[in-house]
């Protein structure tokens, strides 16, 4: 005669064989799979939360005032040197590279390094005179080292049809020096069609004085004394393999307007 305990044991084994979902191994696998699924969702949720918290970091901007705001708050000026590919030598005026919106609090160099962190070639440093340099690696800067014998920033005549005293006029005087024109010709640097930056602000101060035996680099820095902000040098390669260079001043005398975000 089969005992009651032995019968219950045989019955349980039979039920497990007939319905494997009731087995301990199956239940263990279900628990493991459930834990893995929970961990997966935790990772997904954490990633989504990280993405939401970093939306400000992902935002790019190339409005000149984004960089100028940092320089103005620190009471310093700067310069940007970078390369680009242009469709033609008349494809517009150079604009600052796209940067992250500033988020971190720190020195102007630290803030600008964070803003340019999307460009691994961009290096940010500050010289002893306070000027902050934002320079991409491997950009040809030979023209910036051209030595100019004499530059005279004469005041415009009253009969001048466009007596603008702004940085555009100073830039035209610098780029029109015989040494710069000769260097561009000797090195097959295509002439770019200059376009004024149309800075706002009404009457502007005049860049005055004379410079002797200075590099183009130093001449551009000299203008920053009258118009704090930064100058841009863009080394541009055209689609047909030619080279052109572009310059522009972005002075901080005018803050950007909320309804105007053009370059």
Same domain, 134 and 29: no
Measured distance CA(34)–CA(86) in Å, rounded = 55
Same domain, 145 and 95: yes
Same domain, 213 and 176: yes
Same domain, 64 and 181: yes
Average pLDDT over residues 233-249: 90
Residue range 104-145, pLDDT digits in tens? 789 999 999 999 999 999 999 999 999 999 999 999 999 999
pLDDT value of position 55:
38
pTM of this structure: 0.70
Q: What domain range is 34 assigned to?
A: 4-53
pLDDT value of position 62:
65
Same domain, 41 and 146: no
Count of structural domains within the chain: 2
Lowest mean pLDDT among 127-141, 155-169, 237-251: 155-169
Same domain, 98 and 129: yes
What are the structure tokens assigned to 56, written together? 């400000």
Same domain, 223 and 208: yes
pLDDT at residue 194 tops 80: no
Average pLDDT over residues 93-114: 88
3-state SS track over the chain: CCCHHHHHHHHHHHHHHHCHHHCHHHHHHHHHHHHHHHHHHHHHHHHHHHHHHCHHHHCEECCHHHHHHHHHHHCCCEEEEEEEEECCCCCCCCCCCCEECCCCCCCHHHHHHHHCCCCCCEEEEECCCCCEEEEECCCCCHHHHCEEEEEECCCCCCCCCCCCCCHHHHHHHHHCCHHHHHHHHHCCEECCCCCCCCCCCCCCCCCCCEEEEEEHHHHHHHHHCCCCEEEEEEEEEECCCCEEEEEEEEECCCCCCCCCCCC
pLDDT value of position 18:
46
Reported as a pLDDT band with limits 50, 70 and 90, residue 42 is very low
Same domain, 110 and 204: yes
pLDDT value of position 220:
97
Does residue 260 belong to any structural domain of this protein?
no
Does residue 109 belong to any structural domain of this protein?
yes
pLDDT value of position 252:
84
pLDDT value of position 169:
87
Does residue 148 belong to any structural domain of this protein?
yes
Does residue 140 belong to any structural domain of this protein?
yes
pLDDT at residue 238 tops 50: yes
Same domain, 49 and 177: no
Same domain, 46 and 150: no
Does residue 147 belong to any structural domain of this protein?
yes
């Amino acid at each position: 005669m089969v005992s009651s305990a032995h019968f219950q044991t045989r019955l349980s084994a039979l039920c497990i064989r007939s319905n494997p979902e009731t087995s301990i191994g199956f239940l263990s696998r279900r628990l493991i799979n459930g834990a893995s699924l929970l961990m997966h969702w935790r990772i997904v949720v954490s990633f989504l939360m990280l993405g939401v918290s970093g939306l400000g970091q992902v935002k790019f901007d190339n409005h000149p005032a984004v960089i100028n705001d940092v320089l103005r708050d620190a009471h310093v000026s700067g310069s940007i040197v970078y390369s680009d590919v242009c469709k033609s030598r008349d494809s517009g005026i150079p604009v600052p590279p796209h940067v992250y919106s500033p988020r971190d609090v720190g020195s102007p160099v630290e803030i600008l390094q964070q803003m340019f962190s999307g460009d691994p070639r961009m290096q940010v440093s500050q010289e002893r005179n306070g000027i902050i340099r934002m320079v991409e690696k491997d950009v040809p800067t030979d023209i910036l080292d051209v030595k100019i014998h004499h530059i005279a920033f004469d005041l415009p005549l009253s009969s001048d049809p466009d007596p603008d005293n702004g940085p555009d006029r100073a830039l035209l005087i610098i780029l029109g020096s015989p040494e710069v024109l000769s260097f561009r010709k000797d090195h097959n640097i295509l002439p770019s069609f200059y376009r004024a930056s149309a800075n706002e602000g009404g009457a502007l101060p005049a860049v005055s004085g004379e410079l002797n035996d200075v590099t183009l680099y130093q001449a551009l820095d000299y203008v920053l004394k009258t118009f704090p902000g930064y100058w841009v040098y863009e080394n541009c390669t055209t689609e047909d393999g030619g080279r052109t260079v572009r310059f522009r001043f972005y002075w901080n005398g005018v803050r950007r307007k909320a309804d105007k975000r053009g370059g």
